[in-house]
Amino acid sequence: MLINIKSRIKDYSIIIKKNSLRELSNLFSLDYKKVLIVTDDNIPLEYIEDVKSNFDYVNVLVLPHGENTKSIENYLKIQETLLNNNFSRKDLVIALGGGVIGDLVGFACSTYKRGIEYINIPTSSLSMIDSSIGGKTAINYKHYKNMIGSFYPAKGVLIDFSLLKSLPKRQLNNGLVEALKAGYIFDKTIIDEFKKEELDIESIIIKSIMVKKHFVENDEKEESIRKILNYGHTIGHALESIYGFSDKLYHGEAVGIGMMLINDDPLEVASFLKKLDIHFDEEIDAEQIIEFIKNDKKMHDEKIDLIKVDKKNGGYIDESISIEELKKIIVKEAHYVRYLR
């Protein structure tokens, strides 16, 4: 399956094909003298070897797994690896991993000699559904999520559903929360998928990609409607920061809680999260959440662009919410997290 994404920066393609890592070069017509694969220590060696088989000269950089890898230190490791091996702007970098690796590699590539091409091979449901598409790249700074970044689309994205077989169940479900978000904001048929006894993972991911395509093609640099993709993320990112980007709370899980707290039907959201076996046994501290939100990129004039959902029309941007009003909403709805215990 081929999905083309139009971009003001550069158009690119998403190719969806099972068991395709050894076909990477042919699928994207790649012809590079030097290639760097950046991956993490959770990625099976066989995946790395399959990607390496496409090229004659390959360097591999393996980084630790986890959200804390999206750091300035690892950004510099990539730059140093490229420089030490004399990579030029005509060479290629491959991001082989989840959203952390994709975001980090994309940002590193956007700044190396003012831009080197990269291919994104997402290995998690979260990165297939969301982060590998749309050109957003970033690293975290201190306790703040995605504070330093750029818009820099990949040359191409290869989605191979067979890679999901190595994913732990919690990680798989973590990514599916982003699909649930896509259902609420734009495509109600995705919500219908979550109501079924058994989830059709591949169908859900493809539908979610089409939702992402719609928003990024119409507002690539998040100046208007692309902000709707941040439904649940304002509170979600704050929760991730509070827990230090640790295994205590994954990105999708935090976004799910954020969605629940600002949805007109929080119990429905809670029921979907429980179906995905998402648990959370902490109390919500509104004051602590607000302190992190004050540095959110969507803040302006003491107000925040809060993404809400209307059951008829999907997601919309409410630009009138003050930080104090948001705090009141969180305090009022915080008790719903108890349904996730």
Of the pLDDT bands very low, low, confident and very high (cuts 50, 70, 90), residue 294 is confident
Q: How far apart are CA 152 and CA 136, in angstroms?
A: 6
Predicted confidence at residue 198, as pLDDT, reads 92
Same domain, 9 and 53: yes
Which structural domain, as residue segments, surrounds residue 223?
Answer: 169-340
Question: Taking the CB of residue 33, how many other CB atoms lie within 10 A of it?
Answer: 12
Phi and psi at 225, nearest 5°, equal -70, -20
Q: Which of 166, 189, 207 is the last residue of a domain?
A: 166
Is the separation of the CB atoms in 116 and 89 below 8 Å?
Answer: yes
Q: Which residues are catalytic?
A: 114, 136, 178, 212, 222, 226, 230, 233, 237, 251
pLDDT in tens, 56-115: 999 999 999 989 999 999 999 999 999 999 999 999 999 999 999 999 999 999 999 999
Q: What is the pLDDT of residues 175-212, one digit of tens each?
A: 999 999 999 999 999 999 999 999 999 999 999 999 99
Q: Is residue 176 domain-shared with residue 162, that is, in the same domain?
A: no
The DSSP secondary structure of 99-158, one letter per residue, reads HHHHHHHHHHHHHGGG--EEEEEE-SHHIIIIITSS-EEEEEETTEEEEEEEE---SEEE
Considering 143, 166, 189, which residue would you say is the last residue of a domain?
A: 166
Which one of 166, 181, 207 terminates a domain? Answer: 166
Q: What is the CATH number of the domain that holds 186?
A: 1.20.1090.10
Q: Tell me: do 188 and 224 sit in the same domain.
A: yes
> Helix (H, G, I), strand (E, B), or coil: what is residue 53?
coil
> Same structural domain for residues 142 and 75?
yes
- In this prediction, residue 244 carries a pLDDT of 85
| pTM beyond 0.85 | yes
Both 89 and 220 in one domain: the answer is no
Number of domains, the chain: 2
Task: Please check whether residues 155 and 183 belong to one and the same domain.
Answer: no
Same domain? 157 vs 190: no
297 pLDDT more than 80 = no
**Residue 65: predicted pLDDT:** 94
Q: Which two three-digit tokens encode residue 56? A: 């004659």
CB 251 within 8 A of CB 328: no
